[in-house]
A and B are shown apart, each in its own frame.
Chain A
Amino acid sequence: MEHGSLTDSSASTFSIMEEDHTLANSVRFVLNQDPRVAFCGYSIPHPADNKVNIRVQTTGDPAKDVMKDALQDLMVMGQHVRGTFDKAVADFKSKMPAEQMDVDVNQQ
């Protein structure tokens, strides 16, 4: 849910339910990399509520668009991490069988 102003779309607070530091801290990091962002930060109003408020103030662009772009960037980063990781695992596994075969030979 977005809390903003009707006349000025460049600053908004996004109130996200069922989320915590996991998403908010990552999004804050990505937002901080965007040159359009003048300020961003997040808070968890009460530790017992599953809710986080993310504040975004921009240099002019609509805060909602900047926020969406940040989430999109985070997704792309995730996809890249997954791709790199899968490749590293495949490479590691392809090197492994040779060593395991040696072990088997020794056991016989």
Chain B
Amino acid sequence: MENPGGSSLPAFLELQRTRVLCKADAPTHTEGFQYSGAFAAMGVDTSVSVEKFCSNFKIEINRLTEEDMEFDMIGVDASIANAFRRILISEVPTMAIEKVFMVDNTSVIADEVLSHRLGLIPLDADPRLFEYISDDVPNERNTIVYKLHVSCEKGSQRLTVKSGQLEWLPEGSQLTMASPAQSGDNQRTYTSFGQSQQNTSERPLGVKYKDITIARLGPGQAIELEAHAVKGVGKVHAKWSPVATAWYRMLPEVVLLKEIKDGDAEELVKKCPVNVFDIEDLGNGKKRAVVAKPRACTLCRECVRPTDDQVELRRVRDHFIFTIESTGALPPEVLFTEAVKILEEKCERVISELS
């Protein structure tokens, strides 16, 4: 009983199925119809088979820069869009400083606070080139080592320590372990690098932004430390989250329920703080309100207050305006593909566990 052109539900049901209505007091029809057989009794199949999904799914990119992007994801259920968002925030791995070896810290910032600040610095290292650290053995495939050695001389001006002063050590740790050294042995350090990291990537594995303030030093104060960065995910600690944030909103739809003319039109245009409406000149002094920029609508609902018989605010249930703000390790478009891959890996894992 499938009809090719989507569904032939009565208009009011189709509206409830595909839109969220934003009434003046509260939104209605927010839940949607999860069960695909909800309208089976009417001979309408609303299920989303893989074939249907593939033919209806669309992506339109609105903005793409090095650090953020916005795109429209059309024809997808909120559960899938939300899965992508959740994975982006908490499960796409990055590198971040996890261990700090304090040699000297006479600054006013306590060791643990300084370490926390170091952890939050975005690193310009592609996490796909590294492995997760296992058994706590740091080597060139799972650890990046940085050194910070700054001091403020007596009698000089106060000094600001910036993230750019973190120096990458491609050969690994320079700190020797305090264990009694056997003669002839090489001094053991805190990492066991088999080879240099110099050729791991095209760019040096530095920090992404060189102007982040780490600490301030007064005359006579000094900081000397070594920081070890490892691979991790955002659900363990937010410092590993690859996004400043990732979010989506449903596409707003603004509908004029009747023709709004002259004085009423001007009043409506004035009501909207984001200028969704515009006035169309009909000639001989007559004016009519039109919806010019529905995407700008923030659903403040000023236009449906006090009466909602002129305008209806809706949201399209399967159209998401998705925004990703990267912290710098990976460009936003790579982050999204990585997130989708992680969802696929999750499925694969459960399939193999069930077999």
**A80 near B: Cβ within 8 Å?**
yes
A41–B37 Cα distance when bound, in Å, is 15
Q: Which of B37, B333, B348, B353 contacts A35 (CB 8 A)?
A: B37
Interface residues of B in 14-53 (CB under 8 A from A): 34-37, 47-50, 53
Q: Point out which of B36, B61, B87, B347 has the most chain A C-beta atoms below 10 A from its C-beta.
A: B347
B35 touches A32 (CB 8 A): yes
Complex alpha-carbon distance, A86 and B48, angstroms: 23
Q: Which of B47, B58, B348 contacts A75 (CB 8 A)?
A: B348
Name the CB-closest residue of A to B331.
Answer: A89
Asked if B80 is at the interface of the complex by the 8 Å CB criterion, the answer is yes
Question: Once the chains are docked, how many angstroms separate the CA of A72 from the CA of B354?
Answer: 12
B79 at the interface (CB under 8 A from A): yes
Please name the residue on chain A nearest to B351 by beta carbon: A71
Q: How far is the CA of A44 from the CA of B53 in the complex (A)?
A: 28
**Contact between chains at B79 and A25 (CB < 8 Å):** yes
Q: Bits for A1-14, please: 1 = Cβ < 8 Å to B, else 0.
A: 11000000000001
A85 / chain B contacts, CB cutoff of 8 Å: 59, 71, 333, 336-337, 340
Q: Which of A16, A74, A79, A92 contacts B61 (CB 8 A)?
A: A92
**Closest-CB distance, B133 to chain A (whole angstroms):** 19
The 0/1 profile, CB within 8 Å of A marked 1, for residues 103-118 of chain B is 0000000000000000
CB–CB A22/B91 < 8 A:
yes
Task: Verify B36–A33 contact, CB threshold 8 A.
Answer: yes
Kindly state the separation between the CA atoms of A3 and B347 in the bound complex, as whole angstroms: 19
B354 to chain A, nearest CB (A): 6
Chain B residue nearest in CB terms to A17: B353
B341 at the interface (CB under 8 A from A): yes
Q: Shortest beta-carbon distance, B288 to chain A, in Å?
A: 35
Say whether B50 contacts A77, CB under 8 Å.
Answer: yes
**Would you give the shortest CB distance from B328 to chain A, in whole angstroms?**
18
Instruction: Please indicate the chain A residues that have their CB under 8 angstroms from the CB of B47 in the complex.
Output: 33-35
A78 to B250: give the CA distance in the assembly, Å: 20
| Nearest A residue (CB) for B46 | A33
Q: Is the CB of B49 within 8 A of A22?
A: no
Q: Which of A61-84 contact B (CB under 8 A)?
A: 64, 67-68, 71-82, 84
C-beta contact mask, B310-350 vs A, less than 8 Å → 1, else 0?
A: 00000000000000000000000100110011011011101
Q: Are A81 and B64 in contact (CB under 8 A)?
A: no
| Contact in complex: B354, A33 (CB < 8 Å) | no
Give, as a whole number of angstroms, the nearest-CB distance from B234 to chain A.
Answer: 12
Q: A79 with B64: in contact, given A29-B77, A33-B49, A64-B354 (CB under 8 Å)?
A: no
**At the interface, yes or no: B201 with Cβ under 8 Å from chain A?**
no
Within the complex, what minimum Cβ distance (angstroms) separates B293 from chain A?
22
Q: Does A19 contact B (CB under 8 A)?
A: yes
Could you tell me the distance between the alpha carbons of A21 and B343 in the complex, rounded to whole angstroms?
12
A72 adjacent to B347 (CB under 8 Å): yes
Q: A21: which B residues are within 8 A, CB to CB? A: 82, 86
Q: A22-B343, A75-B344, A89-B61 are in contact. Are A32 and B36 (CB under 8 A)?
A: yes
Complex contacts, A64 vs chain B, CB 8 Å: 354
Contact of B344 among A68, A79, A92, A93 (CB under 8 A): A79
Q: Would you give the shortest CB distance from B238 to chain A, in whole angstroms?
A: 17
- Chain A residues closer than 8 Å to B53, beta-carbon distance: 77, 80
- Which residues of chain A (28-69) have a CB below 8 Å from chain B? 28-29, 32-35, 64, 67-68
Complex CA distance for A96 and B84, rounded to whole angstroms? 26
User: For residue A21, which residue of chain B has the nearest CB?
Assistant: B86
A sample of 9 inter-chain contacts (CB < 8 A) reads: A19-B350, A23-B83, A23-B350, A25-B83, A28-B34, A77-B50, A80-B54, A88-B59, A91-B61
Chain B interface (Cβ < 8 Å from any Cβ of A): 34-37, 47-50, 53-54, 57-61, 64, 71, 76-77, 79-80, 82-84, 86-87, 91, 333, 336-337, 340-341, 343-344, 346-348, 350-351, 353-355
Knowing that A22-B343, A84-B58 are A-B contacts, what are 13 other residue pairs whose CB atoms are under 8 Å apart, sorted by A's residue number?
A20-B86, A22-B82, A23-B347, A34-B36, A34-B47, A71-B348, A71-B354, A75-B348, A82-B340, A84-B59, A85-B336, A85-B340, A92-B64
